[in-house]
A and B are shown apart, each in its own frame.
Chain A
Amino acid sequence: MKEIVVISGKGGTGKTSITAALTYVGRGEILAADCDVDAADMHLLLAPDFGKPTDFYSGVIAKIDTEACISCGKCKAVCRFDAISIIDDKYVVSPLDCEGCGYCARVCPRDAITTPEQNVGQWFISTTRLQNQLVHARLGIGTENSGKLVAKVKAEARSLAIEKDIPYVLVDGSPGIGCPVISSLSGADYVVLVTEPTVSGLHDMRRVHQLLKQFNLPCGCVINKADLNPEFSRKIEGFLQDENIDLLARMPYHPDFTEAITQGKTIVELDGSELPEKIEILWNTIKSKLEE
Chain B
Amino acid sequence: MKIAIASGKGGTGKTTLSTNLAAYIAQTHPVVLADLDVEEPNSGLFLSGSPIATEDKFKMVPSWDAEKCIHCGNCQKVCNFNAIISLPKIVMVFEKLCHSCYACAELCPAKALTMVPEKIGTLKAYKQGNLHFVESRLDIGQEMAVPLIGQTESWLNDHFPDALLLLDSPPGTSCPVIEATKDVDFVILVTEPTPFGLHDLTLAVETMTTLKKEFGVVINRHRETGDIVEQYCEQNDIPVLACIADSRLVAELYSQGKMMYKSVPDMQQALDNIIRFLHLPGGRQ
What residues make up the interface of A, taking CB atoms closer than 8 Å to B?
A: 9-13, 16, 38-39, 41, 44, 60, 78, 80-81, 96, 99-103, 106-107, 139, 141-144, 146-147, 175-180, 182, 196-201, 203-204, 207, 210-211, 214, 225, 228-229, 232, 253, 258, 261-262, 264
> Which residues on the A side are within 8 Å of B11 (C-beta)?
10-13
CA distance A143 to B178 in the complex (A): 9
> Which residues on the B side are within 8 Å of A81 (C-beta)?
101
> Which residues on the B side are within 8 Å of A178 (C-beta)?
39, 138, 142-145, 176
Distance of A135 from chain B, by nearest CB (Å): 19
The answer, yes or no, to whether B284 is at the interface (CB within 8 Å) is no
> Which residues on the B side are within 8 Å of A180 (C-beta)?
174
Contact of B10 among A39, A96, A182 (CB under 8 A): A39
In the complex with contacts A38-B174, A96-B178, A177-B138, A200-B195 CB distance below 8 A: no
Contact of B9 among A39, A141, A207, A228 (CB under 8 A): A39
CA distance A288 to B140 in the complex (A): 30
> Which residues on the A side are within 8 Å of B174 (C-beta)?
38, 139, 142-144, 146, 180
CA distance A146 to B46 in the complex (A): 31
Distance of B116 from chain A, by nearest CB (Å): 15
Check B172–A179 contact: CB distance below 8 A.
no
Q: Which residue on chain A has the smallest CB distance to residue B107?
A: A106
Check B40–A253 contact: CB distance below 8 A.
no
The answer, yes or no, to whether B103 is at the interface (CB within 8 Å) is yes
CA distance A111 to B32 in the complex (A): 47
Q: What sequence of 0s and 1s flags, for each residue 237-275 of chain B, a beta carbon within 8 Å of any chain A beta carbon? A: 000000000001001101111000000000000000000
CA distance A78 to B81 in the complex (A): 17
Contact of A11 among B9, B103, B206, B255 (CB under 8 A): B9
In the complex with contacts A141-B203, A177-B39, A199-B256 CB distance below 8 A: yes
Check B45–A199 contact: CB distance below 8 A.
yes
Check A142–B40 contact: CB distance below 8 A.
no
